[in-house]
Amino acid sequence: MNSNLAKLILVIEPDCNSADNLRKVLRPLYRVSVASSGKEGLDMAFADLPDLVLLDVKLLDITCFEVLVELKESDLTRGVPVILITDSSSAEDEERSFTLGAVDYIAKPYHPATIKARIQMQLQTREYIKTIERLGMIDALTNIPNRRSFDLQLRKEWERAVREQNCIGILMMDIDDLKLYNDSYGHIQGDALLRSVARVFEQTLKRPADFVARWGGEEFVILLPNTDCEGSIAVAEQVREQVEDMVVSLSDGTPSHTTISIGVNAMVPGRSSDIDTFINEADKACYEAKRSGKNRVVHSC
């Protein structure tokens, strides 16, 4: 099966005939959505997160440069390649488009083979970049995303929550008494415990959008898009119970156990809301969970 069929190409083209021609050329190879104006194209881009955008220079409502700026300023779409299509050959416009983040510039009339080749090249380049980025975003010990990866994911989901006015939840989690565990069984066994806990987190989360990462040391964090306080607390209790029931075998086969303390926060962020405060409130709740006896969930929402 052609893997390109899963790729979504967004065509922003006010000319109906040109849009139909592009749709016919691309649909055998990709999923294609079409917007007839710049504002409609931006709405579709933020909602659907296409793999590539074909943007006509001559829009009727806003300029193509305004579209480019919004796409490149958003964490949701910054990495999406944008190819401009034009019937002019202005060197000034071409230079400006590259400065604003376009990756290619195709002049009309174009040959279908040219469009296909340019799109394929940009999609391959993007996959290569994503692979390189992933290598720096995975925690080597637990093989789950690291803090840098979480920070990027949080900014994307935060922006989406602000735009759509949806609730977003966060769980700050700390393994109880990991130092004592390491002192008792050794750091190699402690590493095995960290890996086991990470697997429990991954197995407990059910939705594709839920995101777990290693925050650092014995701390982990879970991001829950479209989840209110009550839902976040429910996930936290489920995670806590799964870790409490987990068995990690020592080198001699003896079972060992651990528990975690969890701080929960959830909110519908606004334009003036602060991400750091959002995280810190969950972190404070996690500290309170440890201070008040460990192996429990405390929420700040």
Task: Report the pLDDT value the prediction gives residue 192, as an integer from 0 to 100.
Answer: 86
Domain coverage including residue 55: 3-135
- pLDDT of 2 higher than 70: no
Same domain, 130 and 16: yes
User: Is position 218 annotated as part of the catalytic site?
Assistant: yes
Residue 13 DSSP symbol: -
- Per mean pLDDT, which range of 101-110, 158-167, 282-291 is the poorest? 101-110
Same domain, 60 and 155: no
Report residue 255 CA to chain centroid gap: 36
Interior CA angle at 115 toward 111 and 121, to 5°? 140
Amino acid of residue 7: K
What are the tens digits of pLDDT across the range 224-251?
A: 999 999 999 999 999 999 999 998 888 7
The answer for 101, left when phi > 0, alpha when psi is -120 to 50, beta otherwise, is left
Same domain, 174 and 211: yes
What are the tens digits of pLDDT across the range 171-213?
A: 999 999 999 999 999 888 888 899 999 999 998 998 889 999 9
- pLDDT of 97 higher than 90: no
Same domain, 49 and 125: yes
| 142 domain residue, yes or no | no
Of 88, 104, 135, the one marking the end of a domain is 135
Same domain, 129 and 160: no
Helix, strand, coil percentages (3-state) for the chain, rounded to 5, are 50, 20, 30
Same domain, 182 and 103: no
| 80 domain residue, yes or no | yes
pLDDT band at 260 (very low <50, low <70, confident <90, very high): very high
Catalytic, out of 218, 230, 241, 281 = 218
Dihedrals φ, ψ of 210, to 5°?
Answer: -65, 140
Percent of the chain with pLDDT strictly greater than 90: 56
| 141 domain residue, yes or no | no
Same domain, 213 and 261: yes
Cβ atoms of 262 and 171 within 8 Å: the answer is yes
Same domain, 42 and 96: yes
| Number of structural domains in the chain | 2
What order do you get walking across the sheet with 104-107 strand by strand?
Answer: 31-35, 8-12, 52-56, 82-86, 104-107
Same domain, 180 and 272: yes
110, 57, 45: which is closest to 81 by C-alpha? 45
Same domain, 111 and 170: no
Cβ atoms of 54 and 11 within 8 Å: the answer is yes
Same domain, 38 and 66: yes
Cβ atoms of 56 and 14 within 8 Å: the answer is yes
User: Measured between alpha carbons, how far is 141 from 147 in angstroms, rounded to an integer?
Assistant: 13
What are the tens digits of pLDDT across the range 117-155?
A: 989 999 998 888 778 777 788 888 888 999 999 999 999
Hunting for tokens 């069929």 — which residue is that? 5
291, 287, 292: which is closest to 300 by C-alpha? 287
Of 93, 108, 135, the one marking the end of a domain is 135
Task: Report the pLDDT value the prediction gives residue 1, as an integer from 0 to 100.
Answer: 44
Q: 9: domain CATH number?
A: 3.40.50.2300
- Per mean pLDDT, which range of 46-55, 65-74, 94-103, 217-226 is the poorest? 94-103
Q: 151: domain CATH number?
A: 3.30.70.270
pLDDT band at 91 (very low <50, low <70, confident <90, very high): low
The arithmetic mean of pLDDT across residues 56-82, rounded, is: 88
How many Cα atoms sit within 13 Å of 118 on the Cβ side? 21
What are the tens digits of pLDDT across the range 265-288?
A: 999 998 888 999 999 999 999 999
